[in-house]
Structure 1
Amino acid sequence: MRSRNGECSQELQRAAALFNPQLVQILQQLNSEIGSNVFIGANTRQMNNDFISNPGAFGFVTSKVACCGQGPYNGLGLCTTASNLCPDRDVYAFWDPFHPSERANSFIVQQIMSGNTEYMYPMNLSTVLAIDAANN
């Protein structure tokens, strides 16, 4: 919404960058108090940044233009009947100015389920489920 060239707003990106390190600290503290890795966190911001910085690596043609929206880069408003709509939503990293596309969300879910610590802290969901199954 604040972009003149399809890039993310630096001000908003700086604000978002403060969240995950603080989340990791809170998770460390909670897990330490409980004595077990009960709580996990997903760094979806980093996942989105990967789509943005290298959309082709994920099979997207662009991360600068949303599939559905209005204004420059389809970056204004939500998807409505008045919106521009892309011909193939599977090649767009973002559905609208705010949300990843369905295909991008499937990559995010894959990382939550089996991703490494770049995206998941302290472990992914599959590991938590395996530990839980082994303990029951």
Structure 2
Amino acid sequence: MYDLGARRVLVTGTGPLGCVPAELGMRSRNGQCAPELQQAAALFNPQLVQMLTNLNTKIGGHVFIAANAQQMHMDFISDPQAYGFVTSKVACCGQGPYNGIGLCTPASNLCPNRDLYAFWDPFHPSEKANKFIVQQIMSGSNKYMNPMNLSTIMALDSIE
């Protein structure tokens, strides 16, 4: 990508694979995240950051920026009420346990207010949850963005 002219590439790590309603619906009996999938994400994401750091070192700049999607999601999964959600376990639209089985179709259960749910369907964050994620991409700390957030990148690029 760099050789083709890309000068800024935002790379998003994997989210909390074991905590999405689809996995809760298939694997969880008590609402707990699937530990083996969470472990896989916990192993992958730091390796992704290290790989991007190595690429940036080789290139000699901050071309590749890592977004820690797992941490962004885990904030509202761990404490949904702090973000205005009633739940982070049940999808707004779906079927079966946690509304986590199948796709969102006309036959699905549909919540009365999607802004109260962290997940829209068995896999995807709701619009409100995505707004929190975008806020972290734009102005989040190094807890979420490595080596810097998008606002910092844009400020640097405007003076170059």
TM-score, normalized by length of structure 2? 0.82
SS at match of 1:40: strand
Please, which of 128, 131, 135 is the counterpart of residue 153 of structure 2?
128
Structure 1 moving runs of 4+ over 4 Å: none
Matched length:
135
Please, which of 21, 32, 40 is the counterpart of residue 15 of structure 1?
40
Unaligned runs of 5+ in 2: 1-25
- Counterparts of 1:91 and 1:69, CA distance in 2: 15
SS at match of 2:64: coil
2:106 counterpart of 1:81: yes
Letter of the 1:133 counterpart: S
By relative contact order (CA 8 Å, sep 6+), the higher-ranking structure is 2
2:101 counterpart of 1:96: no
Unaligned runs of 5+ in 1: none
Deviations 1:15-37, CA, capped at 9 Å, x for gaps = 11112101110111011011111
Q: Is the strand fraction higher in 1 or 2?
A: 2
Match of 1:71 in 2: 96
SS at match of 1:64: strand
Letter of the 1:14 counterpart: Q
Please say if residues 6 and 65 of structure 1, whose CA atoms lie closer than 8 Å, have aligned partners that are also in contact.
no
2:56 counterpart of 1:31: yes
How far did residue 12 of structure 1 move? Answer: 1.0
**Percent identity between the two aligned chains:** 74
TM-score, normalized by length of structure 1? 0.95
Please, which of 51, 73, 76 is the counterpart of residue 48 of structure 1?
73
